[in-house]
Amino acid sequence: MPTYDLLLTNVRVVRHDRPEPEMLDVGVTDGRIARIAPRIEPGTAARVVDGGGRLAFPGVVDAHQHWGIYNPLSEDAVSESRASAQGGVTTALNYMRTGQYYLNRGGRYEEFFPEVLAATEGRSYIDYAFHLAPMMRGHIDEIPELVRKHGVTSFKIFMFYGSHGLHGRSADQNSFLMIPEGERYDYAHFEFVMRGIQAARERFPELAEDISLSLHCETAEIMSAYTRQVEQEGTLRGLEAYHASRPPHSEGLAVSIASYLAHETGLPKINLLHLSSYKAVDAALRMAQAFPHIDFRREVTIGHLLADIDTAYGLGGKVNPPLRPREDVEALWEYLLDGKIDWVVSDHACCRDEVKFGEPRNDIFVAKSGFGGAEYLLPGLVTEGSRRGLSYQRVAELTSWNPARRFGLHRKGAIVEGYDADLCLVDPDVTWTVHAEDSESTQEYTPFEGFELTAKVTDTFVRGEHVLVDGKLAGEPHGRYLARPQR
């Protein structure tokens, strides 16, 4: 009988704790990495894949996706997991909530979340988990059971939802959120969410290190005022107008409020999501100095690192927080290269053309927010990072090791014996042009259309299953729901 189910030979293994890639072979048994060595005898394996000297990165742990926000969840689980595999993503952590979009219903998670799990079971090509958002008072009471029964250890607050719409100004937020009459989604609710999460950490001390809260930091009052001003003045158009309507200091103010609430409630595990500007990261770093007892993590997206309001392809680049001017993109890169950013994500939210664009088509304020991009996450970061001196080791930290550790995925995020055999092969010497038609996503456009990348994912393995072979999806979906913390 062969020793290994799969033997990956002739690859340059990239690891988060080694400064340079090493030419090694990787043996896989029962979905886990069984041995890593300079040369493993091919006759010991049932199947051998020659990596051709390509880079072997740990599979990307994309800590920020949105399956099912604009399309049926059961459909997104198939198509968007396929697109994810194209970008070397082997695990997707999806944000999910009650209210409009997603399943388009309110109510308790004890009824809602099993529907989520049923809609995705057996359909994904990659492994996946969910962050959940406590939208109403009753959800806070459910946090301990979500942790205990379903292995949900990460939660989210959308700070602007209480009085500003998902796509722009809105005067009817309670019906959008589908919360009970008389309840408010406001700073007081955020405080009580934090207290509820901290109570769960104290109830389950053995799980406390893996339980955290993520926040989308924008300030509704600032955005509503600036949106009204931009629309009334009427001089700005497109992505520039949307950037001006949700100004960077709105992010900075929200970061500050969130941080003080964490201090007040004693919640020490805070993730600041998709920071898009110099002011947002500056505020985050100031708060880390003000509250050193809080373990802050700072996230940016590949979209905010690659595109700006002038280079993105059309209004398809509308997203929250907005794409910014080039000076903010450069500031994000400076922070990332200086070690101030903890992980890079896609914020993948597939939004098809007929849903994305409103009437008139060129009105940024009637377009929907969000776009896909998981298929460009690793290629884009390697491409632009290489130009700026970002090491492969640091790429592995930013895309795999750091998010896996934070979110309780203790067998993910590294090419290490005993870990899940999640890997992707990258050719760092191929130049190609992004075209939406080449993606497995059902989204027909991309804000990265025409971008030239100089690294490409050729193969992706999920627990040893070869799901992307020479750039093409293969086989049936084998992805699993991950209850956390993973042991």
> Is residue 164 very low, low, confident or very high in pLDDT (cuts 50, 70, 90)?
low
> Is residue 160 very low, low, confident or very high in pLDDT (cuts 50, 70, 90)?
confident
- Contact between residue 368 and residue 353 where contact means Cβ atoms under 8 Å apart: no
> Is residue 422 very low, low, confident or very high in pLDDT (cuts 50, 70, 90)?
very high
Which residue range is the domain that position 445 belongs to?
59-409+429-454
Q: How many CB atoms lie within 10 A of CB 181?
A: 5
Is the Cα torsion angle 70, 241, 305, 455 positive or negative in sign?
A: positive
Averaged pLDDT, 124-141? 98
CATH number at residue 376: 3.20.20.140
Give the integer Cα–Cα distance in Å for 161 and 369. Answer: 14
Asked if the model's pLDDT at residue 455 lies above 80, the reply is yes
Averaged pLDDT, 179-206? 95
429 a catalytic residue: no
Q: Which of 347, 422, 427, 459 is catalytic?
A: 347
Asked if the model's pLDDT at residue 171 lies above 70, the reply is no
What's residue 1's pLDDT?
80
> Is residue 244 very low, low, confident or very high in pLDDT (cuts 50, 70, 90)?
very high
**% of the chain beyond a pLDDT of 90:** 94
Is 40 within a domain? Answer: no
- Average pLDDT of the chain is 96
Sequence letter at residue 343:
W
| Chain-centre distance for alpha carbon 402 | 12
Give the integer Cα–Cα distance in Å for 395 and 408. Answer: 20
What's residue 168's pLDDT?
64
Is 41 within a domain? Answer: no
DSSP H helical segments within 20-86, as ranges? 73-86
pTM: 0.97
What's residue 173's pLDDT?
66
Is 213 within a domain? Answer: yes
- Contact between residue 35 and residue 416 where contact means Cβ atoms under 8 Å apart: no
Asked if the model's pLDDT at residue 167 lies above 90, the reply is no
Is 43 within a domain? Answer: no
Averaged pLDDT, 316-342? 98
What's residue 338's pLDDT?
98
Chain segment 340-398, per-residue pLDDT in tens: 999 999 999 999 999 999 999 999 999 999 999 999 999 999 999 999 999 999 999 99
Q: What stretches of 205-290 adopt beta strand conformation (E)?
A: 212-216, 269-272
How buried is 418 (Cβ within 10 angstroms: 0-12 exposed, 13-18 middle, 19+ buried)? exposed
Token reading at 426: 């990258």
Is 38 within a domain? Answer: no
- Name the DSSP class of 151: -
Averaged pLDDT, 16-20? 96
Number of independent structural domains in the chain:
1
Chain segment 22-55, per-residue pLDDT in tens: 999 999 999 999 999 999 999 999 999 999 999 9
What's residue 279's pLDDT?
98
What's residue 181's pLDDT?
87
Is 352 within a domain? Answer: yes
Asked if the model's pLDDT at residue 179 lies above 60, the reply is yes
Note the residue count of the chain: 487
> Is residue 172 very low, low, confident or very high in pLDDT (cuts 50, 70, 90)?
low
**Taking the CA atoms of the chain, what radius of gyration do you get in angstroms?**
22
> Is residue 170 very low, low, confident or very high in pLDDT (cuts 50, 70, 90)?
low
Is 10 within a domain? Answer: no
Give the integer Cα–Cα distance in Å for 143 and 78. Answer: 28
Is 481 within a domain? Answer: no
**% of the chain beyond a pLDDT of 70:** 98
What's residue 175's pLDDT?
75
Chain segment 94-103, per-residue pLDDT in tens: 999 999 999 9
